[in-house]
Amino acid sequence: MHREHRHWFSPSLGREMELLIFGHAGARALVFPSSMGRFFEWEDRGMIGALSHHLEQGWLQLYCVDSVDGESWYAKQKHPAARAWRHAQYDAYLRDEVLPLSQYQNPNPFLMTTGSSFGAYHAMNFALRYPERVGRVIGLSGTYDIRDMTDGYSDETVYFNNPPDFIQNEHDPQRLAALRRTDIILVIGRDDPMLGNNEYFSGILWSKDIWHALRIWDGWVHDWPYWREMITKYIGGHD
């Protein structure tokens, strides 16, 4: 299996950033770690191993990015506006640096985003902000309302990085058409405390005629053994 470590000084973030690339061809996937996780988390936790067949067959290529959660949403010592602004810089890093790298490395036009727990928020937020670029998003045991991380504070930056807000108020026909073309998959455990958030967000998507799959598994299932099962089951679509 092809494995490549890349790093560079990010102009968007003003610091060094690292990522790992797995696979040599196929659909590109932007992979986010869980809360304050690192770019090597999916490898360490067996997620790469679970997808080894897809990677070896050239069906899938993963770009496992680092997080800056400790400088953004989890930086509780900062004002929420500063947390949101740091996240906006991270978004620019993904959009203007990581995606062009992936397109240079691999001409396959199909892009996915995925992540578990807080990584699912990142995957969903990026996909729904740029639906013209992302063909599929898979959120594993995620939460999608970032206002839980801002002490109730909101401004324009928070708003446009909070999927329930910007989807609920989206009226542009072209953007709605792009969102309706995106394959959206939410997977959550029945006993997961985030189930209500997933059902709430699913309701917002339906209110905009955005088709998607909400898959509710029995039990808590908020852990890596379950996420390995989930990603292999849904990486190809709704199932």
Cα–Cα distance, 91 to 69 (Å, whole number): 12
The pLDDT assigned to 51 comes to 98
Q: CA distances (Å), 180 to each of 127, 167, 231, in order?
A: 12, 11, 22
Identify the CA nearest to 86 among candidates 67, 100, 99, 102: 67
Q: How confident is the model at residue 47 (pLDDT cuts 50, 70, 90)?
A: very high
Q: What's this model's pTM, rounded to 2 decimal places? A: 0.97
The structure tokens listed for 19 are 């990522």
The pLDDT assigned to 30 comes to 98
102: Cβ–Cβ under 8 A, 6 or more apart, which residues?
28, 30, 61, 63, 111
Q: Is the pLDDT of residue 238 over 90?
A: no
The pLDDT assigned to 11 comes to 98
Identify the CA nearest to 113 among candidates 158, 168, 63: 63
Cα 163 → chain centroid: 12
Work out the average pLDDT over 36-53.
Answer: 98
Domain range 3-234, CATH architecture: 3-Layer(aba) Sandwich (3.40)
Work out the average pLDDT over 164-182.
Answer: 98
Q: How confident is the model at residue 107 (pLDDT cuts 50, 70, 90)?
A: very high
What value does the mean pLDDT of the chain take? 97
